[in-house]
């Protein structure tokens, strides 16, 4: 016999999920945003809350970013539903689509596409400018870290999942895979080919700019099995956090800690108290969690994935005050 309380709970959750999907599907709009760089029309999706009122109701906004090989047409159901349930505006820009050509993959024009979409939303919808959030997974995590560090003034908080922080280093791992070919198509060749090509890898890599991100509470997270069962080693998240930590003069993750976690089934031999916490929103075992300034990094039981509820839990903690500082809510 099935466990009836469990079954009933599952049916209730399924019913709410289906209702949310139906409701937000009715309000999901595909719009076009004019690029301020080249004048092209760039596609973007917007989902407005059910009780959105253009006259009185300013709402938080989430700018969600598609993954490495995808585009504005990517299915993003769990993130859309979580945003809709919270009553936030959901904005999903294209930023030149899959990372297989020079205008994609963190280029200046791709960065501007995201800012243009945000400016469009602010001009056309009632956006609460004290709650402007940014998040993405994989290639979206890469762009989240890049936008938080190159354009920090626009974001109240950000959440980057399994993101690539150093394209040249990632190319070492993927030189013979399709990801390597995609990077060469974006940057003009392999790292080391010329100073001009190396500059492209540098300009598109968050690792070189994260020292400028300290005003943005940045949540960096990766599944411990990524890099083994997935495409992005956890070192990309750990090294990204260390840039922030060094800038903030906080404790960094040591090379020995990084090495211990980077092997299959790796664990810390002397975990800190913060590495052993439980996080209800994440719902996974945590193997490392560290803080620097207002940012944090988490290595959790999982792979190449992002967990929407944990991202929203982080983002919703912060607001931008009247002095333009990003602070914990209710302070």
Which helix or strand (DSSP H or E) is residue 287 part of? Answer: strand 286-292
> Averaged over 116-127, what is the pLDDT?
98
The reported pLDDT for the residue numbered 1 is 46
Give percent of the chain above pLDDT 90.
Answer: 89
H/E stretch holding 137: strand 127-137
- Answer yes or no: is pLDDT of 61 > 90: yes
Q: Give per-residue burial for 213-249: e unless 16+ CB within 10 Å, then b.
A: bbbbbbbbbbbbbbbbebbbbbbbbbbbbbbbbeebe
User: What pLDDT was estimated at residue 27?
Assistant: 82
Cα 198 from Cα 22, distance rounded (Å): 47
State how far the Cα of 261 lies from the Cα of 249, in Å rounded to an integer: 23
Give the mean model confidence (pLDDT) for residues 22-51.
91
Please, which pLDDT band fits residue 23 given cuts at 50, 70 and 90?
A: low
Give the CA-trace dihedral at 52, 55, 57, 59, to 10 degrees: 80
Q: Yes or no: say if 237 and 165 are a contact pair by the CB < 8 Å rule.
A: yes
**Whole-angstrom distance, CA of residue 183 vs CA of residue 102:** 9
What is the 8-class DSSP label of residue 98? S
pLDDT for position 11: 53
Q: Number of C-alpha atoms within 13 angstroms, CB side, residue 110?
A: 29
Contact 169, 71 (CB under 8 A): no
pLDDT at 302: 98
pLDDT 10s digits, 210-235: 999 999 999 999 999 999 999 999 99
Pairing of strands 295-300, 326-328: unpaired
CA atoms within 13 A on the CB side of 198: 4
Class of domain 33-166+205-322 as given by CATH: alpha beta
Q: In this predicted structure, what is the pLDDT of residue 24?
A: 75
C-alpha 233/C-alpha 224 separation (Å) is 8
pLDDT at 54: 86
User: Scanning the structure block, which residue is given the tokens 């193997």?
Assistant: 287
**Which of 5-14, 150-159, 307-316, 319-328 shows the lowest mean pLDDT across its residues?**
5-14
DSSP-assigned beta bridge partners for residue 44: 31, 93
What are the distances in angstroms from CA 172 to CA 105, 167, 198, 306? 17, 9, 13, 24
* CA separation for the pair 125, 110 (Å, rounded): 22
């Amino acid at each position: 016999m099935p466990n009836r309380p469990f079954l009933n709970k599952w049916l209730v959750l399924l019913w709410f999920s289906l209702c949310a999907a139906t409701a937000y599907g009715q309000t999901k709009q595909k719009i076009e945003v004019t690029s301020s760089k080249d004048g092209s029309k760039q596609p973007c999706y917007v989902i407005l809350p059910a009780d959105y009122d253009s006259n009185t109701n300013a709402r938080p906004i989430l700018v969600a970013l598609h993954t490495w090989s995808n585009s504005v047409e990517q299915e993003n159901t769990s993130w859309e539903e979580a945003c809709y349930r919270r009553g936030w505006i959901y904005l999903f820009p294209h930023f030149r689509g899959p990372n297989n050509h020079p205008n994609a993959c963190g280029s200046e024009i791709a960065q501007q596409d995201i800012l243009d979409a945000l400016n469009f939303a602010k001009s056309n919808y009632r956006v609460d400018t004290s709650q402007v959030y940014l998040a993405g997974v994989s290639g979206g995590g890469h762009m989240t870290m890049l936008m938080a560090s190159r354009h920090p003034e626009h974001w109240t908080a950000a959440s980057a999942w399994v993101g690539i922080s150093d394209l040249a280093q990632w190319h070492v791992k993927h030189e013979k895979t399709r990801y390597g070919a995609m990077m060469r198509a974006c940057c003009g060749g392999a790292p080391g080919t010329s100073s001009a090509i190396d500059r492209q890898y540098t300009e598109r890599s968050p690792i070189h700019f994260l020292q400028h991100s300290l005003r943005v509470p940045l949540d960096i997270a990766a599944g411990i099995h990524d890099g083994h069962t997935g495409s992005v080693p956890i070192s990309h998240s750990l090294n990204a956090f260390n840039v922030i930590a060094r800038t903030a003069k906080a404790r960094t993750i040591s090379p020995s800690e990084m090495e211990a976690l980077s092997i299959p089934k790796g664990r810390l031999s002397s975990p800190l108290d913060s590495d052993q916490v439980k996080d209800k929103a994440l719902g996974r075992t945590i193997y490392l969690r560290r803080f620097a300034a207002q940012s944090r990094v988490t290595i959790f039981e999982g792979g190449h994935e992002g967990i929407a509820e944990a991202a929203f839990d982080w983002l919703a903690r912060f607001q931008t005050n009247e002095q333009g500082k990003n602070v914990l809510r209710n302070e």
